[in-house]
Chain A
Amino acid sequence: MKIVVPVKQVAALDDEFELLDDGSGVDPDFLEFDLNEWDAFSLEVALQLREASDDGSEVVAVTVGDEESEEALLSCLAKGADRAVRVSDDDLATDDPLTVARVLAAAVERESADLVLCGVQSSDAVNGATGVALAGYLDLPHVAVVKALEHENGSVVVDRELEGGLVERLRIGLPALLTIQTGINQPRYANLRAIKQAREKPLDVVEAGELGLDQDALAAAAGSRRRGLSPPDRGEGAEMMSGGVDEMAARIAEIVRERMSG
């Protein structure tokens, strides 16, 4: 079985970030990068499926991103992915989920995967959409927000997590695309030796153009265009407490007593 796992290197803001002067984005000096939380779970699902099968399964991690995002791929290789592919993104709007999905589609198509496992969402963009958009481009049957899964030759039985803790059990035939929810397993950590060896594993870098995607194709795929980026309007927002921690605690105690009485 061949399992492709699209993963994202997510960006978190430093406590004291600054916006670029033209408002188009955040000054990259103030970003911290990491493998998307959800993608650690989807990779773990893939690794466990490979370990449970004896047919020489392969796990391929794929990302769309700049050179920095290779860190995410190296972390997947260290944990046990067999190889990795980065589609480089100099001019790509990676904040637009349909653009990313279009590029992923071209990369995944070459792999003829039995199973594509995305994360439910990325912690920075919170689109919750790239995986199912990818399924749309590839015409793959799909289930979103999977919190448990069992492989039974040729199909998988999955638990789809709904609002309020309700779960729906479904069967879906392969090939298919699933988006994986946190908590489905306990993702492994890579040991030091594996982290070193990860650099020896195959990591291909391809340009979107090499996958047959020119600027026009990408522009047509884009689902949106960003007009600007700004700090949130907190509206009425919270009344912020001042003073030392002791004073804050006293104030909280006072509010609690007042609200809980009467």
Chain B
Amino acid sequence: MSGVLVVAEARRGELRDVSLELISAALSVKDQAGGRVAVAVIDQQPDRFVDQLAVDGVDEVLLVPTPTEHFEAHVAGRALTELIAAESPSLVLLGFTIDSLGFAPAVAAKQGLGFASDAISLGWDGGPIVARGAYGDKLVSELEFPGKETTVVLLRAGGFEPAQAGGAAPATRTVELSLDGVAKTEHLGFQEAESADVDITKSEFLLSIGRGVEDKDNIPRFEELAEKLGATLSSSRPLVDAGWMPSARQVGQSGKTVKPRVYLALGISGAVQHLAGMRTAETIIAVNTDPEAPIFGVATYGAVADMFELADELEQQF
């Protein structure tokens, strides 16, 4: 067992950004892991992404053609199981993404592999070690995988600089697997996010509210505040789930990815899926009553304060 196997991710004919971050992560432990990094592409036409995966240090790109046009969890699971059996990697890296969540845990369970999800860092000490959040990311837990010949790690996006493609064309190898009849789901179609009258991704100043707002009746107050400040109102997901805010205003993994000049977050804890949508804002100001709230880990400025009191005072300033 040696080397790192990266599983690239593609959707509807496009390579997803996380793939290049995974390659960076793999290269960071390449020497300790046995000196080999292979990237697997499991897709109906896997060869279409080879140029984008031409990163110096990648030893081989494994092309695994699938009979299904789109990602299918059971097909991906079978492909990964067979790749692990054939390549014997000590570490398999995937993104902490919706597709990965759909099949990687089943493979790890069934094959008795080491497993960690939402890893925020990766190291090596005789074998892989990872850090991940505990208690809603208020603490960090360090994990090891004793006795495991292969460990599957789902890595949180944003922790590694994406690798630069554009190196020499990588060696490729087509791996033909018998994947016919493996699918257990039938694809019926995609549905795009609804279009809306407001596009929060265009705003340079977002005032974003979270569950700290407590009640639907408190929302107008922050709408008024946003207007006074010249900001656009956005929110975390629970307010959308509750029907208090329209989905077009949701920031995060399943909502919009925003990059305003200023992101002012009131009463938002900073869960991984929220951070996915606002981490790269230029200036992040977080207001939260809990000094341990994970959002302070990514914010530029933090204020431990009650969002209602702060809103009152802020109004006076404009």
Using a CB–CB cutoff of 8 Å, the interface residues on chain A facing chain B are 11-13, 15, 17, 19, 26, 95, 97-98, 101-102, 120, 123-137, 139, 141-145, 157, 159-173, 176, 179, 182-183, 220-221, 223-235, 237-241, 245-246, 248-253, 255-256, 259-260
A226 to B25, CA, bound (A): 21
- Closest B-chain residue to A19, C-beta based? B139
Contact B102 A132, beta carbon cutoff 8 Å? yes
User: Is A126's CB under 8 angstroms from B191's CB?
Assistant: no
Is B222 in the interface zone, CB < 8 Å from A? no
Residues of chain A lying within 8 A (CB to CB) of residue B205: 256, 260
B145 touches A224 (CB 8 A): yes
**Across chains A and B, which 10 residue pairs bring their CB atoms closest together, nearest first?**
A165-B193, A136-B106, A223-B115, A249-B313, A183-B241, A238-B302, A253-B317, A136-B109, A141-B184, A238-B299
Name A224's contact: one of B99, B115, B186, B291 (CB within 8 Å).
Answer: B115
A142-B250 Cα distance, complex, nearest whole Å: 27
The reply to whether B185 and A133 contact each other, CB–CB distance below 8 Å, is no
CA gap between A139 and B313 in the complex, in Å: 57
- Scan residues 45-103 of chain B and give those whose CB is less than 8 A from a CB of chain A: 70, 73-74, 77, 96-99, 101-103
With a 10 A CB-CB cut-off, give which of B133, B135, B287, B296 has the most chain A CB atoms: B135
Interface stretch among B30-38, B170-178, B252-260?
A: B252-260
Nearest CB in chain A: distance from B112 CB, A: 6
Asked whether, in the complex, the Cβ of A124 is within 8 Å of the Cβ of B113, the reply is: no
Instruction: Evaluate contact between B105 and A168: CB separation under 8 angstroms.
Output: no
A-B pair count, CB < 8 Å, reads: 285
With A and B bound together, what is the CA distance between A198 and B219 in angstroms?
36
CA distance A240 to B192 in the complex (A): 39
Q: A132 and B101 in contact (CB under 8 A), knowing A125-B134, A249-B310, A253-B317?
A: yes
Within the complex, what minimum Cβ distance (angstroms) separates B283 from chain A?
A: 5
Shortest distance between the CB of A102 and any CB in chain B (Å): 7
User: Closest approach, in angstroms, between the C-beta of A22 and any C-beta of chain B?
Assistant: 14
Contact assessment for A238 and B301 in the assembled complex, using a CB-CB cutoff below 8 Å? yes
**Chain B residues whose C-beta falls within 8 Å of the C-beta of A157 in the assembled complex:** 188
B109 partner, pick from A17, A101, A124, A229, beta carbons under 8 A: A101
Taking a contact as CB atoms under 8 Å apart, the answer to whether B108 and A223 are in contact is: yes
B11 and A229 contacting across the interface, CB-CB below 8 Å: no
* Cα A243 to Cα B299 with chains together (Å): 18
B169 at the interface (CB under 8 A from A): no
Q: Are B141 and A226 in contact (CB under 8 A)?
A: yes
> Could you write out 21 A-B pairs with CB less than 8 Å apart?
A12-B135, A127-B105, A128-B117, A134-B109, A144-B101, A164-B253, A164-B254, A168-B70, A170-B188, A221-B109, A225-B143, A229-B139, A230-B140, A232-B138, A237-B297, A240-B301, A245-B306, A249-B313, A251-B303, A252-B301, A260-B230
Distance of A229 from chain B, by nearest CB (Å): 5
B275 to chain A, nearest CB (A): 12
Our pick among B105, B187, B229 for the contact of A133 (Cβ within 8 Å) is: B105
Complex partner residue of B117 from A97, A171, A220, A253, CB under 8 angstroms:
A97
Interface membership of B264, Cβ < 8 A: yes
Are A220 and B112 touching (Cβ within 8 A)? yes
What residues of B have a CB within 8 angstroms of the CB of A227 in the complex?
A: 129, 142-144
B141 touches A95 (CB 8 A): yes
Q: Which of A130, A143, A165, A235 contacts B102 (CB 8 A)?
A: A143
State whether the Cβ of B285 lies closer than 8 Å to any Cβ in chain A: yes
On chain A, the residues within 8 Å of B113 by CB distance are 223
Is B214 close to A, CB under 8 A? no
If the complex has contacts A137-B109, A224-B143, A228-B142, are A144 and B98 also in contact, measured as CB distance less than 8 A? yes
Q: How far is the CA of A161 from the CA of B253 in the complex (A)?
A: 10
**13 further interface pairs, Cβ-Cβ under 8 Å (given A136-B106, A179-B101, A240-B304):** A95-B141, A131-B105, A134-B109, A223-B116, A224-B115, A225-B143, A227-B143, A238-B300, A238-B301, A245-B305, A249-B310, A256-B229, A259-B282
CA distance A2 to B117 in the complex (A): 30
CB distance from A35 to the nearest CB of B (A): 15
- With most chain B CB atoms within 10 A of its CB, the pick from A12, A102, A120, A124 is A124
Residues of B with C-beta under 8 A to A249: 310, 313-314, 316-317
Contact with A along B189-221 (1 / 0, CB 8 A): 111111000000000110000000000000000
Please state if B142 and A226 are interface contacts (CB–CB under 8 Å). yes
Q: Bound complex: CA of A74 vs CA of B156, how far in Å?
A: 35
Q: Is the CB of B317 within 8 A of A241?
A: no
Contact A126–B137 (Cβ < 8 Å): yes
CA–CA, A139 to B110, complex, Å? Answer: 8
Report the nearest A residue to B240, measured CB to CB: A183
Contacts of A136 on B, CB cut-off 8 Å?
77, 105-110
CA distance A11 to B264 in the complex (A): 28
Known contacts A136-B105, A159-B191; A232/B144 CB under 8 A? no
Whether the pair A141, B185 counts as a contact (CB closer than 8 A) is: yes
Residue from A13, A101, A240 in contact with B135 in the complex, judged by beta carbons closer than 8 Å = A13
In Å, the complex CA distance between A132 and B103 comes to 7
Docked pose: A251 CA to B232 CA in angstroms: 20
Task: A233 to B133: give the CA distance in the assembly, Å.
Answer: 11
Enumerate chain B residues within 8 angstroms of A221, measured Cβ to Cβ.
Answer: 109, 112
